[in-house]
Amino acid sequence: MTTSGGYYDQLRVEAATSGVNGRVDELTLTNIWSKGGPCVVDRVKAGTLEITFNEIGAGDGLAAKDFVVENNVKFKHFTNIENVEVLIAEPS
């Protein structure tokens, strides 16, 4: 699956209902601008996980973490480059 541009409230990739866990060879999250709530990467099992060049913030200061990679995320290779948590205002 490849997606580019657009506005999303949630991006969700789920395993089929076969009862077998899904696997991802490569997951790349890049150039994401996220505002308004937490951005959470959760329950991913990937060969390669890349999270690069993202700006994330709830607009409420930096007291709470808005971008979280949960400790249940499993990977063989992880690239984490140039991601920032910022005060982001509503788009005009």
What is the SS3 assignment for 87? coil
At position 49, the amino acid (one-letter code) is L
Average pLDDT over residues 25-39: 85
Which H or E run includes 57? strand 55-57
Q: How confident is the model at residue 92 (pLDDT cuts 50, 70, 90)?
A: low
Average pLDDT over residues 25-30: 89
pLDDT surpasses 70 at 19: no
Q: What is the pTM of this model?
A: 0.73
Going by C-alpha positions, the residue among 54, 40, 48 that lies closest to residue 77 is 48
pLDDT confidence of residue 52: 94
Containing domain of residue 54, as a range? 25-85
Domain for residue 51, yes or no?
A: yes
Number of domains in the chain: 1
| Arithmetic mean of pLDDT over the chain | 82
Domain for residue 17, yes or no?
A: no
pLDDT confidence of residue 90: 60
pLDDT confidence of residue 91: 59
Q: What is d(CA 41, CA 31) in angstroms, rounded to the nearest whole number?
A: 15
